[in-house]
Amino acid sequence: MAAAEALYISKSKSTHDDRFVEALREVLELREIYLDKPTSNQAELITGEQNLIIASPLSTGINSIPQSSNATIIGICMAYEINEEAKEKNKFDEIYENINRCSAIVCDCDYIENELRGRFAFAGEILKIAYGCDQEIFQSVPFENQEKLRIISTRNWTPTHSNTTSIEALRELQEGTLKFEAKFYGVGIEFTQELRERVSSEFSDKIQFLGRFVQEDLPSAFSKSEIYLSASISDGTSVSLLEAMAAGRLCICRDFPSNREWIKNGVNGFLFTTPSDLAEILTSISQLSFEEKSLISNAARESVLTRGNWEIMRTNLINFIKNWIKQ
């Protein structure tokens, strides 16, 4: 029997899209559209007769689908449209309408599911899955003890990711005697020449900016750091966090509802609210014994072993889509 046909629409191609498309192709004949790279037949594909459209995010992805479409729409939520874009009244109204055009939505955490049900009054089906971590790649990353704190961040330089908060906390540590080094990967609008020059002058070689990272190199990068840091002011289930936890890093994240679904403060990671709070956590980690650090590291690995495993989530996604093909 031939696979059912479907249209896959996304704002721009990402690692998430690669994962989703690879899984969906097991049960669907997919045609892909990435809105930031229009093709000559894009309009024809979108306006054509479709039985099933899978679109992401719940803002721009679904905006591209004509109101006249009779297709079954399954939305994939990327969290930022709910957490950030919907803060503006006009955008909220647009996303509200888009959400309620969907027959089903895929999201990545309890917090977003509750927002969809409550604030956006969505009554359709919801599949909640973590968007993926390849456990076998990260579980074998060694956790070592060092005299100085070795910190890694893999979040981009945007106002939402708030890496400047991390710099502010490290500035407080700079005033004391605690030894540390921090490696910041990622790019973005806040990653300016002025920032790099100012931080390099102030911190000398304690802070390094390494730009974009290659996914295949991430386990090696984690092996050279014990602490993972994310100051993002909002998140769904962050894949970066899942990868760091699978690698047994001591993860420090903003105290945000979705992060609380994964991190139990002081047990398998740490949560902070302010730069000073973050500086205090880093100081307290420096005072832990290696045995105490190892307990937290092992707890982090264990806590994502099943819930954060993409192979399991992938199967859940495929089975969910199968049900919609039957309908």
CA distance 124 to 121: 9
**Is it the case that residue 156 has pLDDT exceeding 50?**
yes
Contact 226, 293 (CB under 8 A): yes
On whether both 105 and 147 belong to a single domain, the answer is no
CB 92 within 8 A of CB 86: yes
> Residue 182 has which token pair?
């921090």
Residues 229-271: tens digit of each pLDDT = 999 999 999 999 999 999 999 999 999 999 999 999 999 999 9
Percent of the chain with pLDDT over 70: 97
Residue 179 and residue 117 share a domain: no
More confident residue, 176 or 156: 156
CATH number of the domain that residue 107 is part of = 3.40.50.2000
Range of the domain at 21: 4-132+309-326
- Peptide bond preceding 142 in cis form (omega within 30 of 0): no
Is it the case that residue 1 has pLDDT exceeding 70?
A: no
The C-alpha angle 136, 22, 1, rounded to 5 degrees, equals 125
Looking at the structure, do residues 236 and 140 belong to the same domain, yes or no? yes
pLDDT of residue 327: 56
Percentage of residues of the chain with pLDDT beyond 90: 84
Cα distance between residue 112 and residue 120, in whole Å = 10
* Predicted model pTM: 0.93
Please indicate, yes or no, whether residues 61 and 191 belong to a single structural domain of this protein: no
pLDDT at 144: 93
> How many CB atoms are located within 10 Å of the residue 274 CB?
13
Other Cβ atoms closer than 10 A to 46:
19
Q: Tell whether 80 and 162 lie within a shared domain.
A: no
Residue 55: strand pairing partners? 9, 75
Q: Are residues 11 and 149 in the same domain?
A: no
The mean pLDDT value for 146-155 works out to 95
Is 260 buried (19+), middle (13-18) or exposed (0-12) by CB count in 10 A?
middle
For residues 172 and 317, membership in a common domain is answered with: no
261-300 confidence digits (pLDDT tens): 999 999 999 999 999 999 999 999 999 999 999 999 999 9
Q: Which band of pLDDT confidence, cut at 50, 70 and 90, is reported for residue 2?
A: low
Residue 63 tokens, joined: 């905006």
Shared domain for 97 and 187, answered yes or no, is: no
The tens digit of pLDDT for each residue in 169-215 reads 999 998 888 999 999 999 999 999 999 999 999 998 899 999 998 88
pLDDT in tens, 203-221: 988 999 999 988 899 999 9
The tally of domains found in the chain comes to 2
Q: Are 155 and 295 contained in the same domain?
A: yes
State the average pLDDT for the chain. 93
Terminal CA-to-CA distance of the chain, rounded, Å? 17
Res. 45: pLDDT tops 90: no
Q: Would you place residue 119 in the very low, low, confident or very high pLDDT band (cuts 50, 70, 90)?
A: very high
- pLDDT, one tens digit per residue, over 59-85 is 999 999 999 888 999 999 999 999 999
DSSP secondary structure letter of residue 65: S
* Together in a domain, 150 and 80: no
User: Residue 56 carries which side chain, given as an amino acid letter?
Assistant: S
Whether pLDDT at 98 is above 90: yes
Residues 162 and 102 in one domain: no
d(CA 45, CA 244): 39
Tell me how far apart the alpha carbons of residues 54 and 73 are, in angstroms, rounded to a whole number: 6
* Same domain membership, residue 139 and residue 255: yes
